[in-house]
């Protein structure tokens, strides 16, 4: 399978201390999709992850993919691919920790591979809020619903997160509770955070894609 996605190039150059590594989280087992790798499932004729990568790439200075299976298929997108440093499909925090350990830039933003509608201004708004609040982590929220895997955090949290994971921690909200965080409202884009977990949701997403998005 050969797939290409435009290289990660931000809309405008950022100062070195504000540069951002984007991470597509694709390290899960896809159990609710019948055990298949969700990001590789086709949506409108392309892998679902291709839609997410297309939206995320222009917003970041570097783009990498966290995946724990089907590595050759993920490498075909043309970005560096790495697995969790903790075995057993330990969840999104394991993927984030691996990303923080590998990121070239001081800020790291994450998005899941099953989010083909993610906001095209996600990074801009998260970064503005992070800096304004002098926070360690910014997380997207729509109304009263946080979206914890859509976050921007500081690379220097790698050690802190590593200690949390080494102590058996796995719950993302519990780790967030140890940090200074800021929730960033995206009430104007609630549908953008819809992810795809079932075949029915996949069919619905295909109907909702803009014309020509396939």
- Binding-site residues for GTP: 25-27, 38, 66, 84, 114
CA 177 to the chain's CA centroid: 20
- DSSP assignment string, 67-97: ESS-HHHHHTTSS-EE--SSTTT--HHHHHH
Give binding residues for Mg(2+) as ranges: 114
Tell me how far apart the alpha carbons of residues 69 and 29 are, in angstroms, rounded to a whole number.
8
Q: Rounded to the nearest 5°, which phi and psi values hold at 138?
A: -115, 135
Give binding residues as ranges: 25-27, 38, 66, 84, 114
CB 123 within 8 A of CB 109: yes
SS3 194: coil
């Amino acid at each position: 399978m050969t797939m290409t996605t435009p290289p990660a190039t931000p809309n405008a150059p950022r100062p070195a201390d504000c540069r951002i590594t984007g991470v597509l989280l694709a390290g899960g087992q896809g159990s609710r999709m019948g055990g298949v790798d969700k990001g590789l499932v086709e949506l409108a004729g392309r892998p679902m992850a291709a839609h997410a990568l297309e939206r995320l790439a222009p917003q970041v200075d570097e783009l990498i993919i966290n995946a724990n299976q089907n590595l050759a298929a993920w490498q075909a997108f043309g970005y560096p691919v790495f697995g969790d440093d903790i075995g057993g499909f330990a969840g999104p925090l394991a993927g984030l920790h691996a990303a923080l350990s590998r990121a070239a830039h001081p800020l790291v933003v994450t998005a899941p591979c099953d989010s083909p509608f993610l906001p095209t201004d996600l990074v801009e708004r998260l970064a503005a809020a992070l800096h304004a609040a002098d926070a360690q982590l910014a997380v997207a929220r729509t109304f009263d619903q946080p979206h914890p895997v859509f976050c921007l955090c500081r690379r220097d949290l790698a050690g802190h997160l590593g200690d949390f994971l080494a102590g058996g921690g796995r719950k993302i909200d519990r780790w967030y509770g140890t940090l200074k965080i800021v929730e960033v409202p995206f009430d104007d884009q609630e549908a953008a955070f819809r992810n795809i977990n079932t075949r029915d949701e996949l069919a619905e997403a295909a109907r909702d894609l803009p014309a020509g998005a396939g």
